[in-house]
Chain A
Amino acid sequence: MRGPARSGARLVVVRAGLQDLVVDCRPRRALRFGLVEGGPLDVAALLRANRAVGNPSDAAGLESLGRGPTLQVEGGSVRVAVTGELQLLVDGRPCPRGRSLAVVAGSTISVAASPPGLRGWLAVAGGLELPLVFGSRSVDRPGRLEGLAGRALALGDHLPVGPDPGPPARSEPPSGRVAPPVRGPWTLRVLRGPQWTWVAGEVRAHLLSETFTVSPQSDRTGLRLLGRWVVAPADRQVSGSMLSEGTAFGAVQLTPEGGPLVLLADRGSLGGYPKPLQVITADAPLLAQARPGTGIRFRLTTPAAARRAQRLCLGRPLAE
């Protein structure tokens, strides 16, 4: 039996993508119990997709990686929007990104890779009306929560859609989309991290001059970077004496294996390795799009510049 908050429309997975995850911007506030922060890797992109279809900011959508899912619309028509770097296709025809599109029952929506990007976000008007698990619909795969809160979409999954709130009343401000560079290494802006002074000067200089390469062993836990050895033997002892502390999204952690690891939404809530750099929040969209082989450089910026960039990223005017 349907609950009162459903429209009757649903999306049925007729082909699962590489990794399709239900995400929303409702924090679970449970890092202290060992759950992940979770949610979209690019918060601003899911917000833009939700805004485009007129959803509240906490509506649940999908995050897809590379080849996304093919979804059949059943039980009524829906309006959808895709943001990020994936291509939306309705019945096989490519559609523009970032705009609301009506899709009638019986049609299929698919989401396809669009290099050099890696991830995209799909919002549906009314949101995905899946059960809240500990206050959020976002997936926590490491924690193996129940149902779609613990795993990626699979063939045959039914995603109920909430009542369509109607299109947004006013047109949206210009999108804050950060297009990843097609050529050359990507520059990520960083601030000094909590253990900046813990690592040797030559290690800091190296971190800020080396061009790293994203390892295939990267996932939503973190972006593993390959490069020349960065941890001097003396610094390895430092990491042994550090007490575990909460870690922030975008922290650049030095692991004993040597390479930097940029911590993302599914990172462990506590970490005991030094974090000499912290990627600014406005560059999270690039972290979400970096694929194996992408070149990465770090450039120091200032907290004030980081905040200005974040305002732009969220699509807000500079002066408020």
Chain B
Amino acid sequence: MSGDAVAGRPAPSARTLTRAPPEMGGRSWRPRIRWVGDCALEVAVGPQRADLGSVARAQRVGAALLAAALPGVQDVVPGMRTVLVILERTRPLDDPGRIRALVRQVADQAAGEVRRAPASDPPARVVVIPVRYGGEDGPDLEDVACETQLAAAEVVARHQASEYTVLALGFRPGFAFLGLLDPTLAVPRRASPRTLVPAGSVGVAGRQTGVYPCDAPGGWRLLGRTSVRLFDPAAATARDACLLRPGDLVQFVADPAGSVR
């Protein structure tokens, strides 16, 4: 781990560190490409199971497809094992074979680079997020403790014990899907989602955890809340607005301002 570096944003006490990139899961996987409807192409870069190597490849291939700025491509969405290439709906697609071939070319090249030179990645950042656990800030902590047959303090300790990888951003601006959660904490979503989860709420669902960047409906179990701002609407670009980026590592710590009941 290299020395501390303070996050360059006004978010309160989100500390950012850097360290060597995680292993990429170096097995080779040739991207598979298929049409999704008549206006999108899916690039699959890994098998249908949770695997950090697939996540990293999806990010790499997604970044390459964006950088290639292919004609007629509206947006590129990396998922957990796929990249969706969304084509513009403002003009007809005159040569579907051509755009598919271009996507194939860029994806193959990016996947090849991942295999050859995983160490060329920049060091992963470690973002430290202080959380006030339990009470009004974490209304589901007691239920999760009950379901997992752990003490509330133990649920909190285990939530803090792992360092999580940002698998992808989605759902709301700056919302990061973080994995993988300790299997002993894996609980299903609430049977009926809340109509309003307050901004800053820290939730868990299955093997994932995450922080709601803004007020939103949601079914994740809420363990606590943070004052760290995950999305800054006044930033110059959407990228700059997001505190977390795919590949970052996240560490939750207890906020001294909050207490575990």
Contacts and interface: CB of A to CB of B under 8 A. Distances in A.
A binds B: yes
Interface of A: 25, 27-35, 37, 43-44, 47, 57, 133-135, 140, 142-146, 150, 191, 193-194, 241-251, 268-270, 278-281, 284, 303, 306-307, 310-311, 314, 316, 320
B256 to A, nearest CB: 29
A303 B38 CA distance: 6
Given A27-B88, A245-B79, 6 more contacts: A29-B74, A31-B75, A34-B242, A146-B234, A243-B80, A307-B38
Contact of B80 (A34, A194, A245, A316): A245
A29 B75 contact: yes
Contacts of A145: 173, 233
Contacts of B119: none
Nearest 4 pairs of A and B residues by beta carbon: A246-B84, A246-B77, A278-B37, A245-B79
A179 B92 CA distance: 20
Nearest to A145: B233
A269 B90 contact: no
B239 A47 contact: no
Given A31-B86, A314-B91, A270 B79 contact: yes
A279 B145 CA distance: 43
B171 A269 contact: yes
Contacts, number: 166
A121 B168 CA distance: 34
B98 interface: no
B68 interface: no
Contacts of A142: 172, 216
Contacts of B36: 193-194, 248, 251, 278
Contacts of A246: 40, 42, 77-79, 82-84, 86
A134 B238 contact: yes
Contacts of A31: 75-77, 86, 170
A269 B49 contact: no
B35 A244 contact: no
A284 B75 CA distance: 18
Contact of A247 (B80, B84, B175): B84
24 contacts: A27-B75, A29-B66, A30-B173, A32-B75, A33-B242, A34-B169, A34-B242, A44-B89, A57-B90, A134-B237, A143-B214, A150-B233, A193-B37, A243-B49, A245-B82, A246-B86, A247-B84, A270-B177, A303-B38, A307-B93, A310-B89, A314-B91, A316-B92, A320-B94
Interface hub of B39, B231, B238, B242 (most chain A Cβ within 10 A): B238
Interface string B163-179: 00000111111110100
Interface in B67-126: 74-84, 86, 88-94, 96
Nearest to A39: B89
Contacts of B195: none
A29 to B, nearest CB: 5
Given A246-B83, A307-B92, A146 B233 contact: yes
Nearest to B96: A307
Contacts of B5: none
B40 A248 contact: yes
B78 A35 contact: no
Nearest to B168: A270
Nearest to B48: A243
A292 B206 CA distance: 34
B31 interface: no
Contacts of B239: 33
A279 B242 CA distance: 32
B253 interface: no
B219 to A, nearest CB: 11
B221 to A, nearest CB: 16
Nearest to A28: B238
Interface hub of A33, A134, A303, A307 (most chain B Cβ within 10 A): A33
A151 to B, nearest CB: 12
